[in-house]
Amino acid sequence: MHLDIRWAHRGPESRALTLSRGNTVLRSCYPLPSIRWLPVRLIIARCEVRYSGRLSTVLAPAVRLLMLKADGTFMVWSDGGGQKVKPQNWMTPPAVIEEEGEPLERIVVRKRAGASEDRLEIRVEEILSDVEHDMGEAAALEKDGVEADLQEALADSPEWCGEGFRLVRREWPTDIGPVDLMCRRDDDDGWVAVEIKRVGTIDAVEQLSRYLERIRQDPAMADCHGVLAAQTIRPQARTLAETRSIDCVEVDLDVVRGDREPDLTLFG
Q: Which tens digit of pLDDT belongs to each residue from 75-130?
A: 999 987 666 678 999 988 888 889 999 889 999 999 887 778 899 999 999 999 99
Distance CA 15, CA 32 (A): 10
Return the higher-pLDDT residue of 175 and 48.
48
DSSP class of 150: H
Is residue 105 within 8 A of residue 123, CB to CB? The reply is yes
pTM, full prediction:
0.50
Distance CA 34, CA 28 (A): 7
Distance CA 161, CA 183 (A): 10
Question: Does the pLDDT at position 17 exceed 80?
Answer: no
- The angle, 0 to 180 degrees and rounded to 10, between the axes of the packed helices 202-215 and 235-243 is 30
Average pLDDT, rounded, for the chain: 82
Return the higher-pLDDT residue of 260 and 241.
241
Of the chain, the end-to-end C-alpha distance in Å amounts to 71
| pLDDT of the residue at 235 | 95
| pLDDT of the residue at 95 | 84
Distance CA 34, CA 18 (A): 13
Q: What Rg value do the Cα atoms of the chain yield, rounded?
A: 21
Q: Which tens digit of pLDDT belongs to each residue from 205-248?
A: 999 999 999 999 999 999 999 999 999 999 999 999 999 999 99
Return the higher-pLDDT residue of 64 and 115.
64
Which CB contacts under 8 angstroms, 24+ apart, belong to 253-257?
Answer: 253/146, 253/149, 253/150, 253/153, 256/150, 256/153, 256/154, 256/157, 256/160, 257/153
Region 146-155: what's the mean pLDDT?
87
Return the higher-pLDDT residue of 166 and 28.
166
